[in-house]
Amino acid sequence: MRIVLLSLNWVEYLVEMANALAERGHDVDIIVKKDRVRETVGDQLLALLSPSVTAHVIDDRPHGLRDPRQLWTIAQLISLLRRLNPDVLNVHEATQTYLPFCLRWGSKAPLVLTVHDVTTHPGEDSQEPPRRAHVRRFLRRRASAVILHGEWLRKCYIEASRFDDGRVVSIPHGCYTVFKHGIDTSVTEVGRTVLFFGRINRYKGLGNLLQAARMVAPQVTEFRLVIAGRGGDLDNYREEIASSAYCTLHEGYLSNRDVARLFQQASVVVLPYIEGSQSGIVRIAYVFGKPVIVTDVGSIPEAVRDGVTGRVVQSDDLAALADAMIEVLTDDTKRREMSNAASEMVLGELAWSKIAARTEEVFRRLAD
């Protein structure tokens, strides 16, 4: 089967899925944006891909549709889709305004839409611009099948779209093994370190984490809280972070090698979200054998075995969040057991080979 995977945001995801599908004997092409490649895997893209996978990097310039430079991107993508002529086209939902035009004129293949977030998050654009909302509606109407990364998300999508005819399926999000390429074997865990990683928007709950950390610090020797990322909510806590003896901030762009170092140094990775859908951060933590502490929002707990690979706490219970951090940080035996269980998830239920097999079933139903 000839499969084309198109994502304008999730480069690492496409690398993992493409490799797994190629191992199952399919001809796979991926289409990604130049700037996202540069921000993520960089010049490692071809080295990370299986020889059976072909990568196509488009120059998506941030200009209006009438800008000649953007018109070149549109022409490039239409021509590419026509030439590849896939049996199935898998598109990861995005809101670039040129997408509907490119899909109308570039491909008649069955469209499988992968949706990472059913709705926007608090702290992001609560009122989506009309053009982007139009793109989202177009993709969801055009899709022959929709993949969500969790049963909770599947139910939300069905409720929002008001149909359930078997086209909407839940398939787990795999673990990001591509980050292993950034591992430095000389780097080890530092003290008793909690890592908060990713976009720092209001729904991520950084304020709750900082409050809980104040309960943890007096009870855990060598306690460290590392905050890594960027986002609009960070400004609300800069002063508190700067004045704290146990907080360290890594703001801005982080290469995959920098990301690997942070996860290697961590004792536990914490996602104190007050709202959420699903998270690739849990899947990065597992690759480095790190337990996770998450809140009970969205489909995030579906990837965590409470008490085995980490802990799940209520999103509004700061004492429970603090207790979970104290438990994992101070019980070395339990943390090692959780670390081993986290590593097993990478080759177990969240292995890309298993996820690709389930995704292939969706593709075959449409291609046959």
The average pLDDT across 276-283 equals 90
| Nearest-5° Cα angle at 10, 9 to 16 | 160
What is the phi-psi region of residue 198: left when phi exceeds 0, alpha when psi lies from -120 to 50, beta otherwise? left
pLDDT of 32 strictly over 90: yes
Opening angle at CA 113, ends 107 and 114, nearest 5: 140
The residues, ordered by sequence, that sit 6+ positions from 332 with a Cβ below 8 Å of its Cβ are none
Question: For position 88, what pLDDT does the model report?
Answer: 96
Q: Which residues neighbour 214 within 8 Å (Cβ) at sequence distance 6 or greater?
A: none
In this structure, what are the phi and psi dihedrals at residue 92, rounded to the nearest 5 degrees? -85, 130
Residues 228, 271: Cα–Cα separation, whole Å: 12
Task: Give me the residue label for tokens 């339990």.
Answer: 334
The residue among 198, 187, 185, 204 whose CA lies nearest residue 226 is: 198
Report residue 72 as tokens. 């070149």
Q: Indicate whether 106 pLDDT > 80.
A: yes
- As a whole number of angstroms, the longest Cα–Cα distance in the chain is 62
Give the percent of the chain with pLDDT over 70: 95
Q: Sign of the CA dihedral 71, 73, 79, 82? A: negative
Calculate the average pLDDT of the chain. 91
d(CA 227, CA 224) in angstroms, rounded, equals: 10
- The full set of domains in the chain, from first to last, is 2-174+351-367 (3.40.50.2000), 178-347 (3.40.50.2000)
CA atoms within 13 A on the CB side of 150: 19
Q: How many CA atoms lie within 13 A of 248 on its CB side?
A: 12
Banded pLDDT at 121 (limits 50, 70, 90): low
CA–CA dist 113, 130 (Å, integer): 20
Give the contacts of 59 (CB within 8 A, at least 6 positions apart). 33, 34, 72, 73, 76
pLDDT surpassing 60 at residue 65: no
Q: What letter would DSSP give residue 121? A: P
- Is 197 exposed, middle or buried, given 0-12, 13-18 or 19+ CB atoms closer than 10 A? buried
What distance in Å separates the CA atoms of residue 40 and residue 144, rounded to the nearest whole number?
Answer: 30
d(CA 279, CA 271) in angstroms, rounded, equals: 9
Least confident of 76-90, 92-106, 222-236, 279-293: 92-106
Tens of pLDDT, residue by residue over 185-201, are: 899 999 999 999 998 99
Tell which residue, 81, 14, 83, has the closest CA to residue 50.
Answer: 14
Q: What are the tens digits of pLDDT across the range 203-229?
A: 999 999 999 999 999 999 999 999 999
DSSP string, 273-337: -SS-S--HHHHHHHHTT--EEEES-TTGGGG--BTTTEEEE-TT-HHHHHHHHHHHHH-HHHHHH
pLDDT digits (tens, 9 = 90+) for 301-351: 999 999 999 999 999 999 999 999 999 999 999 999 999 999 999 999 999
What is the per-residue burial (b if ≥16 Cβ within 10 Å, else e) of 73-104? bbebbbebbeebebbbbbbbbbbbebbbebbe
